[in-house]
Amino acid sequence: MTGSGTRPRKRSVVIDGHATSISMEEAFWARLIRSANARGVSVNALVADIDRERIATPDAAPNLSSALRVWVLEQSAAGHEGHADWRTFERFSFGDGPALADELAELVLAGTKTATCWPVSEGPRTEVGKHMVVLDGRADPVAVIETVELTQRRFIEVGADFAHDEGEGDRSLVSWRVDHERYFTRNGGFSPDMRLYCERFRLVRRLVP
């Protein structure tokens, strides 16, 4: 898996009614979003609180992006990074049937599968920082995952690195294309130009021994 969490991403936040752009790596955004969710506040509200603390603190970080990174690292080091009860998270299973759900859940638990995709027509389903519970073929919870990257690309634009991270078959791009063409054909239709949501995620917690 390539270092998707190390790529800076610019987002717009609103502080005291004023929009501002902040550039920060996806890994920091994900943890900031998770902390906001656990506290029951918006990302805008959490960022505004951190900014007010920065302004009021002598020798604080010189800019908001730096202050956010420092805050996230301090929260993590102190063990205060927010974690909601996994039982409250949205649940889903991979694939289109119990057998495939079991197979793909096992790949997630093994750390082999760290990516997935689906047609844009089905909606985004997730966002960076969101936690979800993976179900097996019997609809039993087996793992908690966190979205670390979500992009759009056409089927024919999916590369070998993403195919490898999906972890299926022999993990080659050729195998990925054959298997996913079959999958999409039996689940609503396939086109080489079809647009996909491509998600990378990390395994946060195993829910089975």
pLDDT tens-digit series, residues 93-150: 999 999 999 999 999 999 999 999 999 999 999 988 888 999 999 999 999 998 999 9
| Residue 59 sits in the same domain as residue 111 | no
How many domains, in total, are found in the chain? 2
pLDDT tens-digit series, residues 43-84: 888 899 899 888 888 777 889 999 999 988 887 776 655 556
Domain end residue (candidates: 47, 77, 107): 77
**Three-state secondary structure string covering the chain:** CCCHHHCEEEEEEEECCEEEEEEEEHHHHHHHHHHHHHHCCCHHHHHHHHHHHHHHCCCCCCCHHHHHHHHHHHHHHCCCCCCCCHHHCEEECCCCCHHHHHHHHHHHHCCCCCEEEEEHHHCCCCCCCCEEEEECCCCCEEEEEEEEEEEEEEHHHCCHHHHHHHCCCCCCHHHHHHHHHHHHHCCCCCCCCCEEEEEEEEEEEECCC
CATH of the domain at 8: 1.10.3990.20
Which domain, by its residues, includes 156? 86-206
Domain end residue (candidates: 29, 47, 77): 77
* pLDDT-above-90 percentage for the chain: 58
| Residue 124 sits in the same domain as residue 152 | yes
| Residue 142 sits in the same domain as residue 120 | yes
| Residue 143 sits in the same domain as residue 189 | yes
